[in-house]
């Protein structure tokens, strides 16, 4: 909205754009809560990036493709 380029958003469209972004965020949270009702914050943290018990990120060994390509 504050840009003078062709990629900017019209000031009259900004409130609707912001409301749509907020609504999408709320819908995303509600959908996750609906699909995974018993998910705890600790489980959610490990769902995206698995961690070891000491808090470091788990390393995965590189597995080459079955046909020998890297």
Do the beta carbons of residue 52 and residue 58 sit within 8 Å?
Answer: yes
Helix (H, G, I), strand (E, B) or coil at 57: strand
Helices and strands: H and E segment counts in the chain: 2, 0
Higher pLDDT, 66 or 18: 18
pLDDT at residue 8, rounded to an integer: 79
Q: Rounded CA gap, 20 and 8, in Å?
A: 17
Residue 62 has pLDDT above 70, yes or no: no
Cut 0.75: pTM above it: no
**Count of all residues that appear for the chain in the document:** 70
């Amino acid at each position: 909205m504050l840009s003078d380029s062709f990629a900017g958003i019209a000031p009259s469209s900004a409130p609707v754009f912001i409301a749509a972004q907020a609504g999408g965020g709320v819908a995303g949270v509600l959908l996750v809560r609906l699909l995974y009702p018993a998910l705890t914050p600790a489980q959610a943290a490990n769902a995206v990036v698995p961690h070891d018990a000491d808090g470091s990120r788990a390393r995965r060994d590189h597995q080459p493709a079955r046909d020998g390509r890297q």
